[in-house]
Every structure is written in C-alpha cells, then in structure tokens.
Amino acid sequence: TTTFGTYGTLELELSDRILTLTVNRPAALNALSQEVVAELWKAFTAVQDSCTHDAGWPVRGVVVTGAGGKAFVAGADIREMTSMSADEAAGYSRSMQAVTLLIEKLPVPVVAVVDGFALGGGCELALACDFIYATEAAQFGQPEVNLGLVPGFGGSVRLPQRVGLGAARELIYTGRRIDAAEAYRLGLANRVLPTRDDALAAARTTLGEVAAKAPVAVGLAKQAITGATGRSTAEGLEGEADAFREAFTTEDMREGTGAFLEKRSPSFAGK
C-alpha cells in the first residue's frame, strides 16, 4: 500500500478501510528483529497520521497477523540478542515498547489474529492490540525464563492486566505454553476460530462493524479505556469525562443524536 510505505519485513494490504499488517519473516517464524521493530514503528506512525478528517480516515481498523502458517510471531529475535550488550538490549526493549504504546494510542481498533506461535515478544505484540482472535492452532506463552531472560516488550505489565496477576505469574515463571482453549478461558483471546481464514474474516467483520461508527468517538473510547488501565478509579473516570466532553465537540455527535431523533441512519463525517 503506497500510502503507508513499503517494507522489507511487513506486508500491508488495505481493503474496505481495514488494514491488514502481516509480519513477514517466516524463515525466523516472524521474530521481531530490530528491522521489524523499526518497520512496525514506521507503519503504525503512517497509519496514525492518516487518522484525521483531513486525511479522510482511510483506515478504520487494523488486523495484525503473521505470515507462513506456523507462527504469529515467535518472539524477540534470539539470534540478534546474542550479540547485544545489556545497554543495547535495553534500547531494543524500549524501541518495541514504544511500538506497543503507539498501537495503544492509535485511534482505531487493532486486532491480533493469532494462528500458531505467539511467544515472548509475539505474545506481547498481541497484548498491545485491542483484542485477540485466535485459531485452534494458536499457542501462547512467555518463554523468556527458558533463555535466562524476562519479558521485555510489555508482558510484565499487560499480561497481568489481561489475565490477572495469578495466571500471569504462573505463565511468566514457568515459561509454559498454553493452547487456544486455555487462552480463551483466561480471557487472553476473545474468540477462537477453526482456521486462519476464519479468524481473519471474523476480525474483518468486527472491524467493519466498527468502521460504520463515528471514528472520533471510537478513538475517544479507546483512549479512555487505555488511559484508565492501571490507574485509580478516580483517575480513570477523570479521563472518561474528558473523552465524553471531547465527543460533544464533534459534528458526528450532532449527526448521531440528530439522526436518532429524526429516526434515520446517521452519516458520519469523521470530525
């Protein structure tokens, strides 16, 4: 997709305002090399820049997935890490953490479609997405302790937020892998679909549903939820009131409420 740049390790495809971003490094099970991290930063920045009325909101949702049929993403790049100093590793951690924050700040929903392995940094990339659709072949885990490592792309923070402290501790201390059914039971995956095509179709259907809504409102809802995560109830409610106020300044709010009272379908301009 020319608008969002061209990449060596990513494939981008825009269809019906849903962008599918595929990490495409199947020979290394889509491991997040420094090049992949830099390209993810570039791609998500380009998407973020397009999320305005002036730019036409060409993207209303993003699907993140992995190429090759075996893995979503098998983690940080273990080979590259063996030649990093501790300071370089800290930089690597921070640069991918920055990508996860960018995904959380993106004003459109991002769905991870996980088919095969989502391990270590791969699980952490999926956790930065709004929610996860898994296939029956999905496998999740934080195997860092097997390597003498700890999660470095957000797992220590976002896994407990998603599945609770007890389950997160067990997964991170044991490095154990769990299947799709267990991920669903823990609330890590929102849905489990039989195949990759089913999961991609389901994700696109859900994002298509969101695409019909007022995009500024969807973005504000995401901002309020993300902003409240890890905060006190009072702080979260403060952020919610700010988002609510902001929604009142949009034309889309006038259109949505007006259309309701006039008993017609709304037509949102995205401002």
Site residues for ligand CAA per CB under 6 A: 28-29, 31, 74-79, 117, 119-121, 124, 143-144, 147, 149, 151-153, 155
- State the minimum distance, in angstroms, from the CB of residue 87 to ligand CAA: 15
**182 token code pair:** 């267990």
Annotation says 88 is catalytic: no
Please, are residues 74 and 31 in contact by the beta-carbon 8 Å criterion? yes
- State the minimum distance, in angstroms, from the CB of residue 212 to ligand CAA: 36
**Active-site pick, 39, 104, 136, 144:** 144
Nearer Cβ to ligand CAA (136/255): 136
Please, are residues 32 and 121 in contact by the beta-carbon 8 Å criterion? yes
Please, are residues 206 and 111 in contact by the beta-carbon 8 Å criterion? yes
Residues 6+ apart with CB under 8 A from 113: 63, 64, 65, 72, 132, 133, 134, 135, 196, 199, 200, 203
**Active-site pick, 11, 39, 124, 182:** 124
From CA 178, how far away is CA 192, in angstroms rounded?
Answer: 13
Annotation says 136 is catalytic: no
**117 token code pair:** 């392995």
**Buried/exposed code over 107-119 (b: 16+ C-beta within 10 A; e: otherwise):** bbbbbbbbbbbbb
Nearer Cβ to ligand CAA (18/32): 32
- State the minimum distance, in angstroms, from the CB of residue 233 to ligand CAA: 30
Report the residue number whose CB is nearest to ligand CAA.
120
From CA 50, how far away is CA 62, in angstroms rounded?
Answer: 13
Nearer Cβ to ligand CAA (144/252): 144
What are the residue ranges of helices labelled H in the chain?
Answer: 34-50, 78-81, 86-105, 121-128, 155-163, 165-174, 180-186, 196-211, 215-228, 233-248, 251-261
Give how far Cα 17 sits from Cα of 51, 52, 56, 141, 249, Å. Answer: 11, 13, 11, 32, 25
From CA 134, how far away is CA 179, in angstroms rounded?
Answer: 10
- State the minimum distance, in angstroms, from the CB of residue 144 to ligand CAA: 5
Nearer Cβ to ligand CAA (31/168): 31
- State the minimum distance, in angstroms, from the CB of residue 118 to ligand CAA: 10
- State the minimum distance, in angstroms, from the CB of residue 147 to ligand CAA: 6
Nearer Cβ to ligand CAA (4/117): 117
DSSP readout, 46-65? Answer: HHHHH-STTTT---SEEEEE
Nearer Cβ to ligand CAA (169/231): 169
Q: What are the residue numbers of the active site?
A: 124, 144
